[in-house]
Amino acid sequence: MQTVTLLGATGSIGTSTLDVIERHPDRYRLHALTAHSSVEKLLALCLKHQPEHAVLGSEDEARQLGAALKAHQVATRVSWGEQALCEVAGAAEVVVAGIVGAAGLMPTLAAVRAGRRVLLANKEALVMSGALFMREVARSGAVLLPLDSEHNAIFQCLPREHRGGLERHGITRLLLTASGGPFRDHDREALAHVTPDQACAHPNWSMGRKISVDSATLMNKGLELIEACWLFDATPDQIDVVVHPQSVIHSMAAYSDGSVLAQLGNPDMRTPIAHALAWPERIDAGVRPLDLFAVARLDFQTPDLESFPCLRLAREAMMAGGTTPAVLNAANEIAVDAFLTGSIGFTDIPVVVETVMGRIERRSADELDVILAQDRLARHEAQVVIDELAMTAAGG
């Protein structure tokens, strides 16, 4: 039986992971569950699963949870803050990195440094610190398995040992599929009037609001492109993005003999989660079998980079290297939050990101302190740009 720490237990990844784990009580035991601020949701999960540890973002929330658990006579130990996250991440045999955004970097890195089996859904860890992160994986002997459906699909299509460059294994290209989000057929004029609720209504996947907006702008696919470069030792020009509205083919690998291997399945995160939890074995994920007769057709389109420039910006950031991907990610997080709160429009998101990328000088990403400093600087500069946009809109 393996112990599991679930970072981000109350999000969509956490919900799907718990569903898979519940189906296999003989294989997995929960060591820790964490959440940023969802006290009531985490309480319900602790009452149901009774992990050894629970971690929240603040001391006040931790006290609330601790008192509630004590009242229910549940012995789960409660702590709070980044240090506590890092401690529980390093203590379990399996760590599911499901925290969204830059906040997931430090605990995910702690799990890697402890040599754990890390199931990576937090793409920002690699976007921000890819070279450093992969160096720590190699040093510690950690097992890194991708949870994003696209990267998990590519992982399943590649040889078991695929380091040393794609050409070494006869691989010519990686093809990342994208649903295209809810606005794939919209022009720029229509996109200017998109609301947050519309952007969060993904046609195929159930995700949190931030990731849903990233999917709508195609920034999510851009971040996945950067992540794929680090995971599979690829260069940006070896990766194509293909819009595939049905979300049945989750990604593909093209080989020099003309073969293209694809992983297919219903759009359900429990499939890649079950794959990574049990790898190299296979276990039941609770996902209904794919019915190709019901799907009937598979369509493919080229992404519209004029209407959705975030994908172009991500590719440019990876090609620039250094801290540029971290700057891209930080600026995007601030811009998406501003959009969700009504401070800027949907089409302003790439404007903020591109402006910040142009204002902040690229630095080497060999040291974590430098990466985190550039992250903070980009967040500050993004807010400056947002304020400038607001003044312009007001006629100031």
Annotated binding site for 1-deoxy-D-xylulose 5-phosphate: 123, 149-150, 179, 202, 215, 220-221, 224
What are the tokens at 250? 């989750």
Nearest to residue 273, comparing CAs of 154, 113, 97?
97
Nearest to residue 148, comparing CAs of 7, 269, 243?
269
Give me the DSSP letters along 52-116.
SEEEESSHHHHHHHHHHHHHTT---EEEESHHHHHHHHHHSSEEEE---SGGGHHHHHHHHHTT-
The CA distances from residue 70 to 37, 78, 153, 292, in Å, are 19, 10, 43, 50
Annotated binding site: 10-13, 122-124, 148-150, 179, 202, 208, 215, 220-221, 224
Distance CA 332, CA 94 (A): 30
What does DSSP assign to residue 145? E
Residues β-bridged to residue 177:
242
* Type of residue at 202: H
Distance CA 121, CA 15 (A): 13
Annotated binding site for Mn(2+): 148, 150, 224
Distance CA 328, CA 333 (A): 9
CB 169 within 8 A of CB 159: yes
Annotated binding site for NADPH: 10-13, 122, 124, 208
What are the tokens at 126? 């690699």
Residues β-bridged to residue 143:
117
